[in-house]
Amino acid sequence: MATRKKVMQVLDLMRKTPIQPRAEKTIETIYEATAQILGSEGESALTTNRIAEKSGFSIGTLYQYFPSKEAIVLSMIDRERNRVIAELQKMLLAAQNRQLSSRQLLTEFIQALIIAFGTGRRLKRTLVKIAWRLDHTEPIIHSLNLMAGQIAATLQQIKDPELRPPTAAGMYVLTRAVMGVIRSASMEDSALLGTAEFENELVGLSWGMLKS
């Protein structure tokens, strides 16, 4: 399937940027067909001909937008990752207005990460695994750095006396530790994913790293 070098070419690989509603609908249909194939038939069944057939478009229409199946999958991963990061940032920015305790905020944040990158409720499980195989690419590293920076900014605003001041090293270790555990559970198809026990252990790990 996709190689790490191809990830940085995602935007270039989309031959035609959808502007009109009809074009956007075409892209969404292609994405959905790809997700359905990955979910029900597996990665080995994914071909551009199969995607075209499943989506109801001609292969020519598909190639107007994407030159390969890899380009489609990488574009889907890129879009979903950006959506998740935007939602997490919004959650952190709204933390003070919601009057949540630091521990409650941390719990909600961990829950969102598990759903997005572990259980695959929004993103099909096979697609989640493909994304994790590309977890050392520049877009992934950039997303983790954005997450670490936003967490640090939120902690500085909250000024919880129970928590130590955020440092670059501390935020780096925290984000990589949490995402590393979720990655392992996802790749291993662990039965712990989605359980309260798994969530509580991650919250405990993170809280222990954040406390003063």
C-beta of residue 4 within 8 angstroms of C-beta of residue 137: yes
Q: Using one digit for the tens of pLDDT, what is the confidence trace for 174-211?
A: 999 999 999 999 999 999 998 999 999 999 999 999 99
Query: Which residue range forms the structural domain that includes residue 127?
Result: 77-210
Q: Convert 98-129 to b/e letters by CB count within 10 Å (16 or more is b).
A: eebebbebbbbbbeebbbbbbbbeebbbbbbb
The CATH code of the domain that includes 96 is 1.10.357
Q: Number of folded domains in the chain? A: 2
Q: Which residue has the higher pLDDT, 139 or 210?
A: 210
Q: Which of 49, 69, 89 is the last residue of a domain?
A: 69
Q: Are 108 and 45 members of one domain?
A: no
Average pLDDT of the chain, as a whole number? 85
pLDDT over threshold 80, residue 95 = no
| Model confidence, pTM | 0.78
Question: Does residue 82 share a domain with residue 145?
Answer: yes
Residues 59 and 96 placed together within one structural domain of the fold: no
Q: Are residues 166 and 189 in the same domain?
A: yes
Distance of CA 108 to the CA centre of its chain: 16
Instruction: Identify the CATH number of the domain in which residue 63 sits.
Output: 1.10.10.60
**What's the pLDDT at 94?**
77
Residues linked to residue 163 through DSSP beta bridges, in sequence order: 211
Q: Which has the higher per-residue pLDDT, 135 or 70?
A: 70
pLDDT digits (tens, 9 = 90+) for 99-126: 778 899 899 999 989 988 888 776 677 8
Query: Measured on CA atoms in the order 174, 5, 11, 187, is the torsion positive or negative?
Result: negative
pLDDT score for 66: 92
**Residues 155, 109 share a domain:** yes
Residue 91: the pLDDT is 83
pLDDT of residue 7: 45
* Domain-ending residue, one of 23, 50, 69: 69
Percent of the chain having pLDDT more than 70?
Answer: 88
Q: What is residue 18's predicted lDDT score, i.e. its pLDDT?
A: 57
Q: Which of 44, 69, 94 is the last residue in one of the domains?
A: 69
State the pLDDT confidence band at 31, using cuts at 50, 70 and 90: very high
Give the pLDDT mean for 142-165. Answer: 88
